[in-house]
Chains A and B, each alone.
Chain A
């Protein structure tokens, strides 16, 4: 080969190499570029997905559970079954209300039967707590509240009782809140009523339990402050029949010259006592008064017992805001739903569900937060039971009372009727 051809060979041998290198570079670059682009897209997709999830969460309806422990069986089954119906009605109304306001929350009830016993009430609260429930409505009885208080305080489970009235449960800074007025107020109402009716010497015939004993003692203090005389006679509860007790009551009234009897009972024992008292000449010749325990019991509208009630002009008191349009709506709704007349404390159950729900919305689903939020929510809440403002002990601050009796009904039979109201120390008839 000559030297003159060498430069031409150099030029033609480099080009293919450059082309090859270019092609390789393009391929590598494309691959890298693809990978980089994919991860960027993936990253963008991930961010978009997260944003979408957050939006979905914001739009999703949050569901919260409200626990209930009611006496569906046992001595208070009569009102316990009403409590269940009212709570179901209330949670449906609450869910409708929050939906109307555009809130993405929904409440459901978990209802357990506590058999009107403290032991089962405690078991129910423990079970609900283990299931993650932070607020419980009930139980009905003060002795049951005492049984669960320690557990509720230790485990930060909010308890809202619609019917416990014993004064010694008025304890500040605990997890027990009560939406019905304490018996301290009702004993004042009764003392004012009975004194205003001209009675001077009252025999208090009261259950020998937390409710009856405390109520009797507070009434004694209030009535004696109005220059009256009070003797307390407690009777053992859980009997099948109270004829012996009524016989002893009659003997005491006759021997010691009482002009009236104040009965502090529940529904079944109260009805049984009146059933026996109607056949006793001594007890039929004096005045009778009652607390709220027996109010609403169907047996008191039995013609024989109702006639006795009329004869002795039996008046009782019960915690209710008489002139409350929301109460009238509630009673009408309950009657339409169940066919029954709303019993005592059912308005408190209704409001308790609403207070629980709004406290959860305000504070979050945590026991301590609900405890913090509830008094503030209650401060501004006017419901079926009226203003639900709570005092420093977590108990209802403002409680009016109605004076009830049993009267003939138009068309035959008898019915309960409120004949007066007591508010801020004044009794107004009509």
Chain B
């Protein structure tokens, strides 16, 4: 049980790093951005490539990963989303466009990795960044996984940073204003473009840190983002696609379901552990039904609401 608990903490911190920026980007831009999945994968590979070329420590690698993928996210916005938005394209079309970006970036990465493999003459499929970190450290009498500590530290620091940024910093407050009412925010002099660019910088950078954390703990592969897409969206949906704290909680719920809950179900009900992805998907489905994300459906539980007394009168007038 201790192993499952530790794994829950480990995996939940990584899921949180991957899903919180998705919530942030939707909250501000109102776009469900599938290219977010590619940002995660690119984060892992930026770490792998740079760590092969330069003798980097964890902090330098994290900064480089953040910056490079932040630029990628801004480019994705400037080249794909912004031109469509300026033509008044609806959010569904923008979401579809983001799917195109996702697929394009994925296969671009395959081409880049294959080329880099030939140039650098090292295996680049299923590799970990070349950063000298001991796999375990001893704390008192316990041997603790270093990667567990690193991923949780990155997650907590990111959440604290976001709290301070969104609450105390002018640009962060501007982002909240645009998220609540973009038109009104612009009237007050807030530059929507500046806010969107800042949002994509944070989104891309933090998602990349999620990819870095995953690759340190497991491995980097071009399929990394695709392998976690269900969990990332499930965490964000639990957060209602709007609340960062609830997304963080959602990450713990999904990790709990995949590790501890499935273990209980297997032990006491004989459910096969292969039902693990089903648990994540069932959780996602239940949340959508009970508490639809982004205010859809009118709230909790919308279809069981009793008719308001004045409903009939209003409908006839």
Chain A contacts to B: CB under 8 angstroms: 72-75, 77-78, 81, 208, 234-236, 238-241, 243-245, 247-248, 250-251, 267-268, 271-272, 275-276, 279-280, 297-299, 302-304, 338-340
The number of A-B residue pairs with CB atoms under 8 Å apart is 98
Kindly identify which residue among B3, B117, B126, B145 contacts A267, using a CB–CB cutoff of 8 Å. B126
A298-B4 in contact (CB<8A): no
A268-B122 in contact (CB<8A): no
Q: When each residue 196-236 of chain B gets 1 if its CB lies under 8 Å from chain A and 0 otherwise, what string results?
A: 00000000000000000000001101110001100100000
Interface residues of B in 32-66 (CB under 8 A from A): none
A248-B273 in contact (CB<8A): yes
B273-A236 in contact (CB<8A): yes
On chain B, the residues within 8 Å of A244 by CB distance are 4, 258-259, 262-263, 266, 273, 276
A243-B219 in contact (CB<8A): no
On chain A, the residues within 8 Å of B110 by CB distance are 72-73, 77
Interface residues of B in 119-143 (CB under 8 A from A): 120-123, 125-128, 135-136
Q: Say yes or no: is B93 at the interface (Cβ < 8 Å to chain A).
A: no
B118-A338 in contact (CB<8A): yes
Q: When each residue 1-22 of chain B gets 1 if its CB lies under 8 Å from chain A and 0 otherwise, what string results?
A: 0011001000100000000000
B125-A81 in contact (CB<8A): yes
Alpha-carbon distance A279/B122, docked complex (angstroms): 28
Q: Which residue of B lies closest to A85 (CB)?
A: B118
Alpha-carbon distance A250/B221, docked complex (angstroms): 27
Alpha-carbon distance A247/B262, docked complex (angstroms): 11
Tell whether A77 pairs with B145 under 8 Å between CB atoms, given A243-B4, A248-B273, A304-B135: no
A74-B121 in contact (CB<8A): no
Kindly identify which residue among B121, B135, B222 contacts A340, using a CB–CB cutoff of 8 Å. B121
How distant is B181 from chain A, measured CB to nearest CB, in Å?
Answer: 38
B145-A208 in contact (CB<8A): no
How distant is A402 from chain B, measured CB to nearest CB, in Å?
Answer: 21
Interface residues of B in 240-281 (CB under 8 A from A): 258-259, 262-263, 266-267, 272-277
B223-A75 in contact (CB<8A): yes
A240-B231 in contact (CB<8A): yes
**Closest A-B pairs by Cβ, 8 of them:** A339-B121, A236-B274, A78-B125, A304-B135, A240-B227, A243-B7, A298-B123, A244-B273
How distant is A360 from chain B, measured CB to nearest CB, in Å?
Answer: 28
Alpha-carbon distance A55/B195, docked complex (angstroms): 75
B219-A339 in contact (CB<8A): no
On chain B, the residues within 8 Å of A75 by CB distance are 223
Can you list 15 A-B pairs with a CB-CB distance of less than 8 A?
Answer: A72-B110, A73-B222, A77-B125, A240-B227, A241-B7, A243-B3, A244-B266, A244-B276, A247-B3, A247-B263, A280-B3, A298-B127, A299-B127, A338-B118, A339-B121
Alpha-carbon distance A280/B272, docked complex (angstroms): 21
A81-B114 in contact (CB<8A): yes
Tell whether A279 pairs with B274 under 8 Å between CB atoms, given A73-B110, A338-B118: no
A271-B222 in contact (CB<8A): no
Tell whether A248 pairs with B227 under 8 Å between CB atoms, given A235-B274, A268-B221, A338-B121: no
On chain A, the residues within 8 Å of B262 by CB distance are 244
A271-B259 in contact (CB<8A): no
Q: Which residue of B lies closest to A251 (CB)?
A: B267
Q: Say yes or no: is B302 at the interface (Cβ < 8 Å to chain A).
A: no
Tell whether A74 pairs with B125 under 8 Å between CB atoms, given A236-B276, A239-B277, A244-B4: no
Q: Say yes or no: is B104 at the interface (Cβ < 8 Å to chain A).
A: no
Q: Say yes or no: is B161 at the interface (Cβ < 8 Å to chain A).
A: no
B266-A81 in contact (CB<8A): no
Alpha-carbon distance A248/B11, docked complex (angstroms): 18
Q: Given A248-B273, A339-B121, 8 more contacts at CB 8 Å? A: A77-B110, A235-B274, A240-B228, A241-B7, A244-B273, A272-B218, A275-B218, A304-B136
Tell whether A302 pairs with B125 under 8 Å between CB atoms, given A241-B11, A244-B273, A280-B3: no
How distant is A82 from chain B, measured CB to nearest CB, in Å?
Answer: 9
Alpha-carbon distance A241/B118, docked complex (angstroms): 29
Q: Which residue of A lies closest to B135 (CB)?
A: A304
How distant is A253 from chain B, measured CB to nearest CB, in Å?
Answer: 14
On chain B, the residues within 8 Å of A299 by CB distance are 126-128, 219
Q: Say yes or no: is B165 at the interface (Cβ < 8 Å to chain A).
A: no
How distant is B254 from chain A, measured CB to nearest CB, in Å?
Answer: 11
Tell whether A279 pairs with B123 under 8 Å between CB atoms, given A236-B273, A236-B276: no
Kindly identify which residue among A248, A280, A297 contacts B126, using a CB–CB cutoff of 8 Å. A297
On chain B, the residues within 8 Å of A245 by CB distance are 273
Alpha-carbon distance A245/B7, docked complex (angstroms): 12
Tell whether A248 pairs with B223 under 8 Å between CB atoms, given A73-B107, A236-B273, A338-B118: no
Kindly identify which residue among A81, A241, A248, A339 contacts B218, using a CB–CB cutoff of 8 Å. A241
Alpha-carbon distance A245/B274, docked complex (angstroms): 8
On chain A, the residues within 8 Å of B277 by CB distance are 236, 238-239
On chain A, the residues within 8 Å of B275 by CB distance are 236
A339-B259 in contact (CB<8A): no
Q: Which residue of B lies closest to A268 (CB)?
A: B126
A235-B273 in contact (CB<8A): yes
A279-B3 in contact (CB<8A): yes
On chain A, the residues within 8 Å of B258 by CB distance are 241, 244
A298-B121 in contact (CB<8A): no
Alpha-carbon distance A302/B136, docked complex (angstroms): 13
Q: Which residue of B lies closest to A249 (CB)?
A: B273
Q: Which residue of A lies closest to B15 (CB)?
A: A240
How distant is B131 from chain A, measured CB to nearest CB, in Å?
Answer: 13
How distant is A344 from chain B, measured CB to nearest CB, in Å?
Answer: 13
Q: Which residue of B lies closest to A243 (CB)?
A: B7
A298-B126 in contact (CB<8A): yes
**Which of B11, B145, B228, B273 is packed against the most chain A CB atoms within 10 Å?**
B273
